[in-house]
């Protein structure tokens, strides 16, 4: 099979998911506030992630060495082109 004939995959491989999730810019934990800040990709494709786990926390924890506690509040970390952080709760 040639590369251009390969089917498109929206679901990342385990290695790619682990690499993405372990980067602080994509998943950031604030233990003091009991919050987990997730990349905006989790807001764009929630069905894809929730097809693999019942919650976003559950999905992210599949790839983390130290799991996010289920009672932490999940927030989306949205960055504009200027780098300003806009926050949105899930």
Number of CB atoms found within 10 A of residue 42's CB? 21
Q: Write out the chain's pLDDT in tens, 90 residues.
A: 444 444 444 556 888 899 999 998 899 999 999 999 999 999 888 999 999 999 999 999 999 999 999 899 999 987 633 344 444 555
Long-range contacts of 9-17 (CB under 8 A, 24+ apart): 10/45, 10/48, 11/48, 14/63, 17/62, 17/63
Residues 6+ apart with CB under 8 A from 57: 36, 68, 70, 72, 74
Name the residue ranges covered by the structural domains of the chain.
12-89
pTM: 0.72
Two tokens at 36?
A: 């987990």
The single residue listed with the structure tokens 């200027």 is: 82
């Amino acid at each position: 099979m040639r590369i251009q004939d390969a089917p498109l995959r929206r679901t990342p491989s385990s290695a790619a998911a682990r690499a993405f999730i372990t980067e602080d810019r994509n998943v950031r934990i604030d233990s003091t506030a009991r919050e987990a800040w997730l990349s905006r990709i989790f807001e764009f494709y929630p069905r894809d992630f929730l097809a693999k786990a019942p919650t976003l926390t559950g999905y992210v924890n599949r790839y983390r060495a130290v799991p996010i506690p289920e009672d932490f509040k999940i927030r989306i970390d949205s960055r504009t082109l200027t780098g300003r952080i806009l926050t949105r709760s899930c």
